[in-house]
Structure 1
């Protein structure tokens, strides 16, 4: 995968990213995990940094509703 895409197997991070950026695809891996793929940009890099530093402020209901959406898409593609 080239550098213009960001991929993660972390469903929590993928959920956060997908609140602001479209999820391009979900790619199953032989390990049983899946990779969530997004088009990379500078705003996303800042969001990811804030996620890892624990400085994000997100409404819990919005997060959990998006997590349900991500899980629905994940399990429908298996």
Structure 2
């Protein structure tokens, strides 16, 4: 999330109205419900995690143990089991 100066993007009247409630602070304005992005959608992190989880499942089905996967992927055995059983 990046910082945007309200005075640059909002009408002066709206900035003055907002200043009645908050000044010199950060204000988070959430996306509309139907326009909300899923975590990691914009950065590609979600895609990378899904690929990693698929790789873990494939390795497990090919015979790798939970402990081996834990060491290979630097995750706890609990996390590995969770990934395997949710797929």
Give TM class, smaller chain.
under 0.3
TM-score by length of 1: 0.25
Larger CA Rg, structure 1 vs 2: 2
Relative contact order higher in (CA < 8 Å, ≥ 6 apart): 1
If each structure's helix is expressed as a fraction of its own residues, which one has the higher value? 2
TM-score by length of 2: 0.23
Q: Which has the higher strand share?
A: 1
